[in-house]
Amino acid sequence: MKGVRTWLMARGVHALLRWKSRASLVRSALGRLSLPRARPIAGDRLWIGIAQTRLELVEDGASFAGHIGRLAARAVEQGAQLVVFPEDVGFLLLGLLPGARAAAQASNLEAAVSQAVGASVSIAELLRVVATGAWPIYQETFAGLARRMGAYILGGSIVLPDEAGRLYNVAFLFGPDGEIQAQQRKTHLFHIERDWGLEAGDEIVVCELPNTRIAFPICMDHTFHEPIRVAYLQGAEVIIDPSANPERYDEPSERRGVWSRVQESPAYGVLACLVGTLAGVVFEGRSQVVAPLALTPQGDGILAQAQMVDREEVVVAEVNLAALRAYKAAYGPQWNLALYRRYLPLLFKYAPSM
């Protein structure tokens, strides 16, 4: 009898998720917004907008589309041609589950899951179930916004299962035609993600915009030198860090990410932060556009940044690709290939197996 109840509950939840994630809900919500058109990307300048997004659980596709759409519209109104959202923006869609918004007030995530769906359900199982409703909403929202505004939109990241059920933290870039241009799986997991059962990706993706190349490794990837150097060596001139940092803001800790990486591998960097609280976990960060020190007015590596670390905000900045290329030609990284060939094969020979 218990198995039957479980089966019926699963059928009921999936039916509810399908109802809440109807494409018509998203399209209707986007249709109610006044959405500006972005200027086409051309020449050696690129306007980048960051949507520092509040982690507020939503109950259906219309609420998500409205929230995300208003932020994207603000960025494009200020000139953005590429709009960037943070890591784990898909967490807003945990609110699709019945009782999730109330459970989110619990003292920790495990308690919230137990309160919402029962102690026997793992976080991995919960994420797989939510994905059936979250993915259609995420895709329809960002595709619709990109198409209607004629902008490139990096939709932040969402946790999704692959065909075998393995969970990945994945970010997607949508082009002005509404199509997915590229996707990036997170390659270095935060310890919480490992506890949840997520898998790490094994590729750094670089994709073309009309006047440059961009890459978007996710959050923890920027704590390590290797992913960003791989992107740089593939020609990335704008390197994006969609981030969801589950701790109070601390500037030295934040500087260990994309700010440091673009000093090593000259490029423009973009940090997009998720802010808010979920089940006792506080997310804070200061979204910013960064660059090599010499390419910033104050010599501090910062072109523009959010005023607040815990509030929703839009940041827009122009980057000069010609200036970056001139800087790279004069002061780019020095290479000592003989040194690398001597040590790197030995280094990775003794790296621990995963």
Over residues 133-150, the pLDDT tens digits come to 999 999 999 999 999 999
65 burial type by CB count under 10 A (0-12 exposed, 13-18 middle, 19+ buried): buried
- Token duo for residue 76: 């494009």
Distance CA 258, CA 17 (A): 36
Q: Could you identify the residue written with the tokens 């060939």?
A: 341
Helices and strands (DSSP H and E) totals, the chain: 12, 13
HSE on the CB side for 31, CA within 13 Å? Answer: 6
The pTM assigned to this predicted structure is: 0.93
| pLDDT at residue 224, as a whole number | 94
H helices of 150-270, in order, are 191-196, 225-233, 251-254, 258-264
Q: Are 167 and 199 in contact (CB under 8 A)?
A: yes
Q: Please report, rounded to a whole number, the percentage of residues in the chain having pLDDT higher than 90.
A: 78
- Token duo for residue 5: 């109840």
- Token duo for residue 195: 């506890």
- Compute and round to an integer the Cα radius of gyration of the chain: 21
| pLDDT tens, position by position, 214-255 | 999 999 999 999 999 999 999 999 999 999 999 999 988 888
Q: Are 309 and 249 in contact (CB under 8 A)?
A: yes
Mean pLDDT of 272-276: 98
pLDDT at residue 332 greater than cutoff 80: yes
Structure letter (DSSP) for residue 88:
T
pLDDT at residue 103 greater than cutoff 80: no
**DSSP states of 178-246 as a string?**
S-EEEEEE-SS--HHHHHHTB-------EEEETTEEEE---GGGGGSHHHHHHHHHTT-SEEEEEE---
Q: Which of 208, 273, 270, 209 is nearest to 240 (CA)?
A: 270
pLDDT at residue 125 greater than cutoff 80: yes
| pLDDT at residue 242, as a whole number | 98
Distance CA 266, CA 268 (A): 7
| pLDDT tens, position by position, 17-41 | 999 999 999 999 999 999 999 999 9
pLDDT at residue 161 greater than cutoff 90: yes
* Single-letter amino acid, residue 253: S
| pLDDT at residue 120, as a whole number | 65
pLDDT at residue 106 greater than cutoff 70: no
57-66, 122-131, 207-216, 313-322: range with lowest mean pLDDT: 122-131
> Is the model more confident about 7 or about 144?
144
pLDDT at residue 113 greater than cutoff 70: no
Mean pLDDT of 64-81: 98
Q: Are 262 and 292 in contact (CB under 8 A)?
A: yes
Q: What is the mean pLDDT of the chain?
A: 91
Q: Are 156 and 87 in contact (CB under 8 A)?
A: yes
